[in-house]
Amino acid sequence: MHFSGDLGQDRDPLMPPPEPFAGADVLVCESTYGDRLHPAISPEDELAGILAPFLKQKGIVLIPAFAVGRAQGIIYLLSRLMTAGRIPRVPVFLDSQMATDATDIYARHCAEHRIAQQDCARVQLPVRINSVAQSRELNTREGPMVIISASGMITGGRILHHVVNFGRRLRTMIVLSGYQAGGTRGASLAAGERRLRIFGQDYHIGAQIAQLQTFSGHADADELLRWMASGPAPAMTYLTHGEPEASDALRRRLAHELGRPSRVPEHLEVIRIGNPA
């Protein structure tokens, strides 16, 4: 029995593509993006297109980011873009203790990801913010600058203070760096909401809002099919970890394009592996 876990994108800035499927009697595969494809533009080009014009106007960019993986990928690409002259060289601050610790791990273990040894220093680009006092001091600064902070969906963490302080300003851009679950502040901003409740108060958000579409930690439908096709057909594939529409769309493609049987289990359904059908 083989569990796919979260299959990353082939073009992830940090991690290599998933290893080929080695085969199993039963496969349990994620289907988060089972009904859609990622945009053709690269993450680096998308980030440059969003940030370059705004930073040239000396704006302030807030990037709520997941502390492990997403923050480091964004830091790496920011460094590449600044070195190439595609975005202005501006101060970059990393305001999350967990993200700081994770960044150090990435820098120490270059053999475990796809960044070349000579490029590992790129993840050390930001100024690290190590205390609440330093975090508050950021709120006295003017642009241009980039602040990367957790949490990625603006549900907690130091990013809340920065949204309260900078989010009301027209010369601020909030760049949502990943999926925003329903009911979160990030999802509200992505949907066009201009009022957020933070620390028990309502705040008007005057900042520009952008949402990155290429930084997902999940493979899209084509990548999922390619990964499953890289190994022998299981007796049964169970498609999980996706909205019903996404899982069912992938089930149909799996049958039509690969001729493989699959099912989308019901919530709390018990399946006996000895009889996988």
Buried b (16+ CB within 10 A) or exposed e, 233-270: bbebbbbebbeeebbbbbbebbeeeeebebbbeeeeee
pTM > 0.85: yes or no: yes
Q: Using one digit for the tens of pLDDT, what is the confidence trace for 37-60?
A: 999 999 999 999 999 999 999 999
Task: Write out the residue range of the structural domain in which residue 20 sits.
Answer: 2-38+217-263
Q: How far is CA 167 from the centre of its chain?
A: 21
Report the alpha-carbon distance of residue 178 to residue 213 in Å, rounded. Answer: 7
**pLDDT tens-digit map of 143-177:** 999 999 999 999 999 999 999 999 999 999 999 99
28 and 50 in a common domain: no
Q: Length of the chain in residues, anyone? A: 277
Is 257 found in the same domain as 172?
A: no
d(CA 83, CA 60): 20
160 and 133, same structural domain? yes
Q: Which residues touch 183 (CB under 8 Å, ≥6 apart)?
A: none
Does 270 fall in a domain? no
Could you report the per-residue pLDDT of 250-271, keeping only the tens digit for each?
999 999 999 999 999 999 999 9
Number of domains in the chain: 2
Q: Are 197 and 142 members of one domain?
A: yes
Q: Is residue 153 part of a domain?
A: yes
CATH code: domain of residue 154 = 3.40.50.10890
One domain for residues 149 and 167: yes
Task: Report which residue type is found at 75.
Answer: I
Higher pLDDT among residues 164 and 272, named by residue: 164
Interval 84-124: pLDDT, tens: 999 999 999 999 999 999 999 988 888 898 888 777 877 88
Helix (H) or strand (E) holding 197: strand 195-198
